[in-house]
Structure 1
Amino acid sequence: MTSSYDVIVVGGGHAGCEAAYAAATMGSQVLLITMNMQTIAQMSCNPAMGGVAKGQIVREIDALGGMSGIISDKTMIQFRMLNRSKGPAMWSPRCQSDRHAFAWEWRKTLENNNNVSFWQDSVNELLVKDNAVYGVKTMMGIVFHAKSVVLTNGTFLNGRMFIGEKTFGGGRTGEAAASGLTEQLVELGFESGRMKTGTPPRIDGRSLNYEAMEEQLGDTKPGKFSYSDTPALIEQKSCWITYTNQAVHDELKTGFEKSPMFTGRIKGLGPRYCPSVEDKINRFADKDRHQIFVEPEGKDTVEIYVNGFSTSLPEDVQLRALQKITGFERAKMFRPGYAVEYDYFPPTQLKHTLETHLIANLFFAGQINGTTGYEEAACQGLIAGINAHHTVCEKDPFTIKRSEGYIGVLIDDLITKGTEEPYRMFTSRAEYRTLLRQDNADIRLTEKGYKIGLASQQRYDALVEKQQKIAELTDAIQSKRVKPEGINDWLTTQNSSPLRETATLRTLVKRPEITAENVSELLAITLPDTTKFNEEVVEQTVIEIKYEDYLLREKQNADKLDRWENLSIGTEFDYDKLKALSFEGRDKLKRTRPSTIGQASRISGVSPSDISILLVYMGR
């Protein structure tokens, strides 16, 4: 058994898998330590990937060379592009996943990487010397040495589970909690806190009456996440929608006196945008019903995930309330929902690389940083894994700007603003969301992934070919002139004004009534050779033309603000020597240690006058 590695990754969840894969693919010898080899990449909550803003993150992971998109494509059982009725900046891919297949594909992927080794155990101590980590010690007393360590502990650090008045240690159903690390990190000077998350009960699908529910089909032409040549989804499974009602709410209220959330036994804050069902009916007492999504757990199982019914009430109350939902009258429960409370470390203690300020070569990724969601965890794991490898090789830090990706927005939000509740990504968090669309993640990020050795030559070559095709189609649309007699009949069918004189095809593409759905017809009529361009090229070309004025304006704004992003402060800057700084501003700057003026300007408590003082000092 080898005792020395380049990178040790602690935890085999979504963050840990991406961290291990990235560092190993780039050349590091990686040891992945997980408490249970059978639950690598386990989908602990809903069996789905993507969604609003989250789908953009998965595409960005894929563009950089990570694996979440490929594995999602291989194991999806339904695909939907959300928000198609809105602008392209809001389009968000989402898939329903086969829970077991997803985890198995991740394990195979890691096992097929010869630079990844595995060890089943729990890490309860870091080896630290001169404020730098050099290895770990496991519960079995085994010592492993490494040049860098990535902690992706999920909900397991001193995890405590709650079902009604019952409480027991654990980070996930059937799995023990991890202890020791929090206490050591606090001794080393880290600040810690508690957060809470939860999951709904799982139901026997054979006991449900689907005819009483609303069927939710996948897209007629299902898309995918990865820009690589992953298999197309052929056979899709349906999801279903139903609703709670007053009888359900009344039944749930009978268990409130035993609710760990209402009795105060849970201290940690839960995700505001994904509340438990008891919290929903308590906070939104004026609403007589709430939506319930009925989601299959896989292709070959009857197990059902009841999305929207997360709860920690007693199991008998859960079942009685479920059976009052339309379609659930004869529901059988496989296992009850529960809440889990766990330790996290406020992410203001990190650099943009996700390395800690206090301990060199130590990286945090995922729920340990106060986030929620597979996608948020996976992208942090990817960045931490890249930078753990770069630390080993003494290469420059790898970061993504807010103007370059949702991943950059997420990490910047975490380390400059912190979070007191589980952080979830939304499109509204990104000020440049028109630039950060799901369709152009490869153009934004694949070259960056290729340069660091993560994205393959094949991926880079595909990007170059795509850019050439976009340029070719753009030129064709801009130069093509369309006569009224050749297009007016079609324009009339689209409720679009007929042409009075010859016009460029570009002016027609920019018309608001020419949508993503009918633009292909327009191009087929006016440019018969468009068959050589695939749907992705056509879609992105049309978006760039249709929204070019907005995109240009947003790009100019991003460039202006990037000037501050390039003004380096240095993480060792002595703020105490600037007496004119406000007391609060100085304190926040010393705690967060921003590396640029741009990052400093986004820290809560740092005022515009504080930034002006910094700029004056720097001769700006």
Structure 2
Amino acid sequence: MATMRALSGCCLLQSRNALRVWTRRQSSYEYDVIVIGGGHAGIEAVGAASRMNTNVLLVTHKTQTIDLSGIQYKVLNRSKGPAVWGYRAQIDRSLFKKHMQNQVLNNTPNLTIKCCSVEDLIINKTDDGQRISSRTVVLATGTFLRGQINIGLDCYPAGRIENAHLSRHVREEVRGPRYCPSIESKVLKFKAKPHQIWLEPEGLDSDVIYPNGISCTLPEEIQQRLINLIPGLETALMLRPGYGVEYDHIDPRQLKHTLETQLIDNLFMSGQINGTTGYEEAAAQGIVAGINAAAKCLNKKPLTISRTEGYIGVLIDDLTTSGTDEPYRMFTSRAEFRLMLRPDNADLRLTQKGYEMGFVSQKRFDNFCDIRKQLNESEEFLKSIRNPLNKWRKQLGIDCDSKSNSFKTGFEMLGLQECSLKQMAQLFPNQLMPIYDNHVLSTRLKIEALYDYMERDEQELVNQVKSEEMIEIDPNMDYSTKDLTLSTEVRHVLSQNRPKTIFAAKRLAGVTPAAVVSLLYYIKRVNSLSPNDCPNSG
């Protein structure tokens, strides 16, 4: 479990005079990009910068701590629509470290690795006294910025458990992740409810099990007793106690959308140092920071991803615009255009941008262009055919609840649950059979058709909120009312901040687009009622 302390301004950004030594122009540099930290964010930053043919240095404590090693794969939310499917891989910890170390050490061009700690960015000095010059720096320090391990009542300065033997309960002045609380927090808040625990294997050749859902900072002996109270684990031995980590993070509002700091040119931040939690969140930031650090060296236009183009764009925009006062986690509910941000169309949204930055290889881009061409041609063909609904029913052999005999395109028909691409391909074999024979492409075409009209509705909803964002909110609004469909987090944020308008509510950290829509509809409904009928009256 990780908790974080916000820095009141970033301590790395304070001494402008001393920074001249580091930022002054030189005739030559040892490296184009220096990445500090070999965790998820650091590794992705290294990979991104090296693929853009820049000279990269990775500084990490040990190469052994650099973290295709799947044990099992699942698609979460499979019972729901494809827009909210989540791909989850259970990873063999040892194999993952082995493969990542091999990838970084042996298969990453233009990369140098140095094992040391960076004590002072400002003067470019390592703990062995060396000075290292670079055009740009990416900080990906994870939990090691004034990191502190907590187990029980003891605390030790560290960033991971390997740095400590015992440790102390999390203090009240730090904030833990809302959606991944410790077992102590769960029991204190929800005493009467059961708490599910998942037993996950650590590796294919390991008998070590990770009890997911029981993270805690209790004393070691109590943790052992707790484990043995779980049915089936009465004789289990605890190899390593659970622990909490306190660490510092910057105020992410000090960053540009490129993840470069606003106060210091050429300094980029990625990962948990920006106030996020989670592996994917860190890795995503590492990619963006690495690309933009390399782009700065190559005098290229920086990469920015908008909220309509990817969840990375949503994450970075939330952080840099609203900031965060607790570890930030990415959820589909945070995006206005989540029906468009699906796993199946990530290449259509982002590959072109990556190729233009020099991040995507020619071979991969050519393959993408071929896929895009096939999908576009099939979609255009289906949209070019218009028939009355009754005619489509007869040709496809499907029932339809609608009594309308309006004209529908083939693409609109494919968007119906009752219609499959196989039925369409049998009607138009020359045009559609090639894509039907490709399972991946046929699935993608079906999903595109399924969400076509929904995406238009989603866009209209976003436009409506935008046009009415200056509607005023009653300062005495009761956000606890059951008439408002809001999460506990959103109710808390709104009650604490009391925004004056919909626009102000939109900019609050933790307030999702769906919550804004719900709030807007509620206000409009209340405003249309007479004073005696208002839910807040009397």
| TM-score between the two structures when normalised by the length of structure 1 | 0.65
How many corresponding residue pairs? Answer: 439
Is residue 63–residue 115 contact of structure 2 (8 Å, CA) maintained in 1? yes
Is residue 293–residue 308 contact of structure 1 (8 Å, CA) maintained in 2? yes
Per-residue CA distance 1:33-58 (angstroms, 9 max, x = gap): 001110112xxxxxxxxxxxxxxxxx
Per-residue CA distance 1:334-371 (angstroms, 9 max, x = gap): 11111111111111111111111121111111000110
2:433 to 530, 536, 559: 530
1:116 — aligned with what?
111
Is the partner of 1:144 in helix, strand or coil? coil
Q: Is the counterpart of residue 96 in structure 1 residue 2 in structure 2?
A: no
Is the partner of 2:239 in helix, strand or coil? strand
1:574 — aligned with what?
none
Is residue 52–residue 359 contact of structure 2 (8 Å, CA) maintained in 1? yes
Is residue 416–residue 600 contact of structure 1 (8 Å, CA) maintained in 2? no
1:306 — aligned with what?
211
Is residue 310–residue 337 contact of structure 1 (8 Å, CA) maintained in 2? yes
Is residue 417–residue 602 contact of structure 1 (8 Å, CA) maintained in 2? no
Residues 30 and 601 of structure 1: is their aligned pair in 2 closer, same or farther, counting only changes over 3 Å? farther
**Within 1, Cα distance between the matches of 2:53 and 2:359?**
9
2:240 to 335, 351, 354: 335
| TM-score between the two structures when normalised by the length of structure 2 | 0.74
1:416 — aligned with what?
321
Q: Provide the identity percentage.
A: 45
Q: CA deviation at 1:272?
A: 0.5
Q: CA deviation at 1:476?
A: 5.4
**Within 1, Cα distance between the matches of 2:120 and 2:330?**
32
**Within 2, Cα distance between the matches of 1:560 and 1:449?**
32
Q: CA deviation at 1:3?
A: 7.9
**Within 1, Cα distance between the matches of 2:144 and 2:285?**
17
1:16 — aligned with what?
42
1:164 — aligned with what?
152
Is residue 160–residue 340 contact of structure 1 (8 Å, CA) maintained in 2? yes
Residues 561 and 483 of structure 1: is their aligned pair in 2 closer, same or farther, counting only changes over 3 Å? closer
Is the partner of 1:357 in helix, strand or coil? coil
Is residue 3–residue 143 contact of structure 1 (8 Å, CA) maintained in 2? no
Q: Is the counterpart of residue 33 in structure 1 residue 59 in structure 2?
A: yes
1:106 to 100, 105, 110: 100
Is residue 154–residue 168 contact of structure 2 (8 Å, CA) maintained in 1? no
Larger mean Cα displacement after TM superposition, 82-91 or 423-432: 82-91
Q: Is the counterpart of residue 145 in structure 1 residue 137 in structure 2?
A: no
Residues 161 and 503 of structure 1: is their aligned pair in 2 closer, same or farther, counting only changes over 3 Å? closer
Q: CA deviation at 1:150?
A: 0.7
Counterparts of 1:36-51 in structure 2 under 5 Å? Answer: 36-41=62-67
1:75 — aligned with what?
69
Residues 400 and 557 of structure 1: is their aligned pair in 2 closer, same or farther, counting only changes over 3 Å? farther
Higher relative contact order (CA 8 A, sep 6+): 1
Residues 484 and 322 of structure 1: is their aligned pair in 2 closer, same or farther, counting only changes over 3 Å? same
Per-residue CA distance 1:235-274 (angstroms, 9 max, x = gap): xxxxxxxxxxxxxxxxxxxxxxx9713xx3x632110000
Per-residue CA distance 1:268-304 (angstroms, 9 max, x = gap): 21100000011111111231x1111111112221111
Q: Is the counterpart of residue 373 in structure 1 residue 373 in structure 2?
A: no
Is residue 401–residue 409 contact of structure 1 (8 Å, CA) maintained in 2? yes
Q: CA deviation at 1:480?
A: 9.4
1:127 to 122, 128, 132: 122
1:260 — aligned with what?
169
Q: CA deviation at 1:81?
A: 1.1
Is the partner of 1:127 in helix, strand or coil? coil
Residues 82 and 368 of structure 1: is their aligned pair in 2 closer, same or farther, counting only changes over 3 Å? same
Is the partner of 2:181 in helix, strand or coil? coil
Is residue 259–residue 313 contact of structure 1 (8 Å, CA) maintained in 2? yes
1:401 to 287, 293, 306: 306
Q: Is the counterpart of residue 425 in structure 1 residue 413 in structure 2?
A: no
Letter in 1 for 2:276: T
1:272 to 178, 186, 189: 178
Is residue 80–residue 94 contact of structure 1 (8 Å, CA) maintained in 2? yes
**Within 2, Cα distance between the matches of 1:297 and 1:110?**
22
1:247 — aligned with what?
none
**Within 1, Cα distance between the matches of 2:347 and 2:266?**
29
2:142 to 148, 154, 157: 154
Letter in 2 for 1:75: S
Q: CA deviation at 1:105?
A: 2.1
Any stretches of 5+ residues in structure 1 without a counterpart? 42-73, 129-135, 178-200, 202-257, 564-598, 606-620
**Within 1, Cα distance between the matches of 2:422 and 2:232?**
42
Q: CA deviation at 1:507?
A: 5.3
Letter in 1 for 2:60: T
